Structure 1
Amino acid sequence: MSVLTLRLAGPLQAWGASARFARRTTESAPTKSGVIGLLAAARGMERGDDEALARLAVLRFAVRIDQPGTRIRDFQTAHHADTDKSMPLSERYYLADAVFVAAVEGQDALLDELDTALNHPVHPPYLGRRSCPPAHPVRLSLHHGAGLTEALQEEPWQAAAWYRKQRRKDATVSLTVLREASPDEPDGDLLRDQPLSFAAEHRRHALRTVVTTTVDVPNPSAASAPRSLPRHDPFAALEEESA
């Protein structure tokens, strides 16, 4: 088994697990459906190819919250191209200045394929919506022989430098991990973001169980130990002159 890790960082992100009419919300962290969609786009998978999607959907998923960001709301207007009539006001939510490390676990051959696809994507990646491009290449590392928790433990803290400095007194930081439950972990939160079909005419998602844990990682911005100052004797020079 292998684990592929991705850095999801950008000015704006939007990871919606549900949408009602003109109101589109966002979860507080990337969804499995959104990340699987990113990987599928990198491979050039057709939206209606449910068989290819099923191969990706079996991957176990986890996400580490390195920098939670701020939820913001945006109002958008639009007009019909033919009639120029106004469409209903759209209310959309985003995460601003957030940074996450997502991880998918699966067979070595499949993860090798996905790693290659991220390095040479057929379609460019985006962070939940096409209006949310990533600030950096999303591919981080490919961990052979590691599980989700181990891979997320090994990845350095990816938060912005200004955010890390707020914790400079801490040598290590405890980061929240939202991990897909294994079969022997029945307890957890249910989230409807297990992708079954991305086809526009019948998008379907199932429930999956998510457990919340933490991992401790080093803080590269931690303040070093204070240096000891040399002892200053203001009368030493006078004593030398009188000697």
Structure 2
Amino acid sequence: MAKERLQKVLARAGVASRREAEEMIRQGRVDVNGRMVTELGTKVDPEQDEIRVDGVRVRLDQVRKRYIALHKPRHYITTMRDQFGRKTVVDLVPFAAEEHLVPVGRLDAESEGLILLTNDGDLVNVLTHPRYQHEKEYVVEVYGHPNEDFFEAVKHGVVLEDGTRTLPAKVRVERKTDDTTILRVILREGRKRQIRRMFGILGHPVRKLKRVRIGPITLGNLPRGAWRELTPKEVKALQQLVREQTRKTKTARRPRQRRRR
């Protein structure tokens, strides 16, 4: 078997996303054939080399792909473990740590809603990489009643405090109360605390935020703190997403042939 980059093998084995696997390598948590590896360019043969993470051997042939939908409550951190000892989304799924389930789609501690957990490294890469621009849908309650300038700014992109502009987003009013407005928002990117930053700059700070959809997967009536296995139909939809993005990426990388004159 041809050799592959170590972080790609770890992601395919469901240990972590590629970016998280790279961080594990930098931290010296990965051994290959008994030797610590810290170089990101290291290539391995997953059929011949013995790979261990934190002392536990990684076996590609024993990985059962799991796909979990979780309703993250407020005050939980979207990570596998937290250096400050705070509660994480992994704590809500009993087998998540043992099966190396990785959270897909981050939410800040004050937000709630849909998080996917999986050990399918290819899926994690497709759903989290910025270039793929998958839709994520939110129900957001903001203070005040936004005017037309607010909606135009969101639809055309908001300049953040760091000087960068967000991608155009979709937004519509769901309903209004005396002091707040409930909005339905669809993004195609996932910057840190993006909606809170956008709406704060536009003069309507967020009171509550809940994500209700990631790509083809919806939160539905799943209670806070509860989780469920994705249905075969949902898994098929996600796998189709991976195949389409892989095909597009290969096509984009293919060199153009010059036309003969």
Same fold judged by TM-score > 0.5?
Answer: no
- Higher helix residue share: 2
**Bigger relative contact order, structure 1 or 2, given CA contacts below 8 A and separation 6+?**
1
Sort the TM-score into its range (normalised by shorter chain).
under 0.3
Structure 1 or 2, whichever has the larger Rg, is 1
> What TM-score do the two structures reach when normalised by structure 1?
0.27
- Higher strand residue share: 1
